[in-house]
Structure 1
């Protein structure tokens, strides 16, 4: 770090931290779809003499949907998980997990989902569509299949609790070819 400071010091550069992307993403989203609004503005009604309207009567800005792709992989040599969070502008935020312990394929799929949901919450995502190629995991979390065994049930409950923390979230099953790499 010091080496770079010395090298770049001669150019009189000044460090400016980047502001949060979330606010910029929302502003760009509203501007991008502004022409479809047909001259309607998102404006709160003027306060009357009785005060401001109750919170449930106020219009809220629509929250856009983010997409999360998760995939767990186990083979003879290693096990891991791939997580791709797609932002509103189509940027891919990628993360990978390497397991140093033995895990089953279903464990890897659940680990990918749970860690992807945690990342999404940390980024501040409100509405999320999570996509996985594991039919078993999708159906267990959505309530279509029963979880058998304490470990699988623990994973399922953890994923369900994380999904409840979003404003709106859903888990969809997709073919393996549709998982973003």
Structure 2
């Protein structure tokens, strides 16, 4: 250290600590939106990585990737919302409720649609690897059972709040980010690089069904 001090002493140098750039970028980004968002479990990932070009669409479109996971550790959901500029907003949900695989897929889609609405999104492309849920919502499959019908109707009501929504079924490999978050969400203590704290959901999005 003494040697470096002697060598550099002839120069007029001043040490300036590096400022926190990441936090300022996130603050500036959130200020662009009018609606307030509860970002308890919502995290922006930088730098952005754009999976597909949105230049073919004449209006700003957002992309929503959702996936639900039910395993022996529990149930969870992963949400990745991509802005037209390519910024990724990620969310993890841990379900403290009984949920089948189809329940988890509907729950994550409902939560993803709610987040998009809170962000002021008008045009949305929603992508899920659940063929059953996508086809039921799009009208290809019939929603059977009282519980699934409630999920179906609630999802349709949320979709009606957007200007336009396109729900697409994609292979798991094209939904890998949401899938990884969903698997982490199945563990309540899951943390992604110390930056995402899973949101805890204790009750279903739909009213409980009384069983006689």
Shared fold by TM > 0.5?
A: yes
- Which of 22, 25, 31 is residue 20 of structure 1 equivalent to? 31
Q: Spell out, residue by residue over 1:52-84, the C-alpha distance to the aligned partner (whole angstroms, 9 max, x if none).
A: xxxxxxxxxx53110000000000111000010
Whether 1:174 aligns to 2:170 is yes
RMSD (Å), alpha carbons? 2.0
Deviations 1:108-142 (A, max 9, x none): 00000000000000000010000000000000001
Shift of residue 21, structure 1, vs aligned partner: 2.3
Is 1:109 aligned with 2:105? yes
Taking the aligned partners of 1:102 and 1:158, their CA distance within structure 2 comes to 19
Equivalences for residues 1-181 of structure 1 within 5 A: 18=28, 20-22=31-33, 63-181=59-177
Count of residue pairs the alignment pairs up: 129
Distance in structure 2 (CA, Å) of the matches to 1:22 and 1:99: 29
Structure with more helix by fraction: 1
Please, what TM-score do these two structures have when normalized by structure 2?
0.57
Q: CA deviation at 1:91?
A: 1.0
Q: Which runs of 5+ in 2 are unaligned?
A: 1-23, 35-54, 178-212
> Is contact 1:72–1:80 with CA below 8 Å preserved after alignment?
yes
**Alpha-carbon distance change, 180 to 68 in structure 1, aligned in 2, over 3 angstroms:** farther
SS at match of 1:131: strand
Whose RCO is larger (CA < 8 A, sep 6+)?
Answer: 2
Label 1:180 to 1:125 Cα distance change in 2 as closer, same or farther (>3 A): farther
Task: Provide structure 1 residue ranges, at least 5 long, that are not aligned to the other structure.
Answer: 1-14, 24-35, 37-61
User: Partner of 1:177: helix, strand, or coil?
Assistant: helix
TM-score by length of structure 1 reads 0.67
